[in-house]
Amino acid sequence: MIKVIISKQILYHRRKTGVTYAYPISTASKGVGNQEGSYQTPLGKHKIYAKIGDDCAPYTFFISREPKGVFTQKMKLERADWILSRIIWLEGVQTGVNKRGKVDTRKRYIYIHGTDEEDKIGAPASHGCIRMNNDDIVELFSHVTNNENVTIVE
């Protein structure tokens, strides 16, 4: 089970062994909210909808969830907020809160993913997703499963 605590900018993952691991993260710079177009991190109960990037090298960059190559620092000049290394795509499970209509987490493309802005981990800086250090997302990805529960709280 994954629990994200936004006020602490921490993601906890309780493994099948019973051991809990803590990872620093970065959530939305605009705070929390479930509304489409808000650029906020959604709250509530979710599950892992899909895992993308299993066989990719660390620092692989993704466009529309497709691996396109390995990220280089020069690419930062083109744009910011690259999705790197792995994607854990979330789906809300609470109808009207984070599922269906204008509050649908999956249709908002809310992910847990690696970032090119690792220096911003520990503070809100994303456009709604949950960013992680690249080494951390690779590790977490290898220990989670599709449909695993994810809870996001303030």
- The CATH number assigned to the domain holding 93 equals 2.40.440.10
Number of domains observed in the structure of the chain: 1
Residues in the chain: 154
pLDDT score, position 106: 98
Give pLDDT tens digits for 129-147. Answer: 999 999 999 999 999 999 9
Chain segment 32-80, per-residue pLDDT in tens: 999 999 999 999 999 999 999 999 999 999 999 999 999 999 998 888 8
Task: Please count the other Cβ atoms lying within 10 Å of the Cβ belonging to residue 52.
Answer: 18
Percent of the chain scored above 70 by pLDDT?
A: 100
Mean pLDDT within 17-41: 98
Q: Which of 106, 87, 102 is nearest to 35 (CA)?
A: 102
Please write down the long-range contacts of 74-78, taking CB distance under 8 Å and 24 or more positions apart.
75/116, 76/116
The arithmetic mean of pLDDT across residues 5-33, rounded, is 98
To the nearest whole percent, how much of the chain has pLDDT over 90? Answer: 95
Instruction: Say whether pLDDT at 13 is over 90.
Output: yes
Determine the pLDDT at residue 80: 83
* Residues spanned by the domain of 23: 2-153
